[in-house]
Structure 1
Amino acid sequence: MSVPSTDLAATRAFFGPRAAAWELKFPDDGPRYRRAVAELGPPVGGVVADIACGTGRALPELRDAVGPEGTVIGVDVTPEMLAEATVRGRHRLAALVLGDAVHLPLRSGVLDAVITAALVSHLADPVAGLRELARVCRPGGRLALFHPVGRAALARRQGRELTPEDLRAEPNIRAALTAAGWRLDTIDDGADRYLVLATAKG
């Protein structure tokens, strides 16, 4: 999870103090992450990343998917989140990297697949952020935009109403992905989760 990268200090100030209790606050998300990674389908032996990985909920699933010969990377902008991922042993499954989601410290075309949870709607410039994810993926690489809670339930949790302007609504996310170099393959905009799968056009 992330908030607009235009103010990294504010992002870190928000997430840093919450890192240690983050997974205790959302204890039931594990199976949804597992299902999302399975549907993303990272290749065995591939190079995959969780961008804005937080405490690294997806990292065990990514490691299982790519196997011991694969490479798993977790990138987050908040040091405390990466520290909590380390406390939970996820540094043994993935390289944990401090970095901004819109200026990734990764080479172009290096990833076979990428997952990001609860990131896209927080980006100050969603198309630019999605374009950066496309940059680091090879042509044909796969993207999962994920949230373990459905849009309507999340809006209720945040005390707001859904509007047609919501970035994650199908027409809006399709347009943003297309502009950023992705092809939207499937969207599950359901009650219990949100999952978009897309392919890098190259």
Structure 2
Amino acid sequence: MSVTSDSEIGTARIHQEEILEAAALCFMERGYNASSIDDVARRLGSTKGRIYHHYRSKADLFADVYRYGMELNAAAIKPLCGAYDDPVEKLKAMAKVHCLTMLRTRPFQRCVWEGVSLLMRGATTPEQRETLVELQGLRESYAIRFREVIEDARESGKTDFESSGIATQIFLMALNSPIFWYSPRDTDDDEQLNEIASRCTRFALQGLGIGKEYLQDV
């Protein structure tokens, strides 16, 4: 009986992540319906067989791109969730890191958004819909983590809004917005991305009624 080594598992995962990155770029540029496994293979510089070794269909590949995008989001904010006593400071940190993740992993985040759109339009097979409903659950669980901190911030008296549900949706829409209007340039570096994220974060926090005196270090 053959035993798969840790190095072989690691190599397989690297290969799979390369496929996901190529697929995310294709789906972002062409959209789900107009993209094909052939397109992904060409971008990857490989055969279709390499992709079909991991994924039986384009729908399965798209679902994994969506899932990976949400995993990137969750991993980015995880270290911050227990790192602050002040809910406003926690919210500031989570918001900034979330927006930076949108900028740095934009192709994956655009696929997440397209997955939401496909589900809302009902433009899916029953099997695809079941998968997208499951993935939407990951997205909603992620949003709840922000909603809880937003509600804690209101309890601290440093915010001013009515519905926490509406506030959370609008807050995240502001932070997500760079995936639609940001166009990467060769000259962009971490400092420039940090500045874009800071501006978006300050705007979103002010929308919750957080005063400018709390935003100087964002």
TM-score bracket for this pair, using the shorter chain length: under 0.3
* Bigger share in strand: 1
**Bigger radius of gyration, 1 or 2?**
2
TM-score of the pair, normalised by structure 1: 0.27
* Bigger share in helix: 2
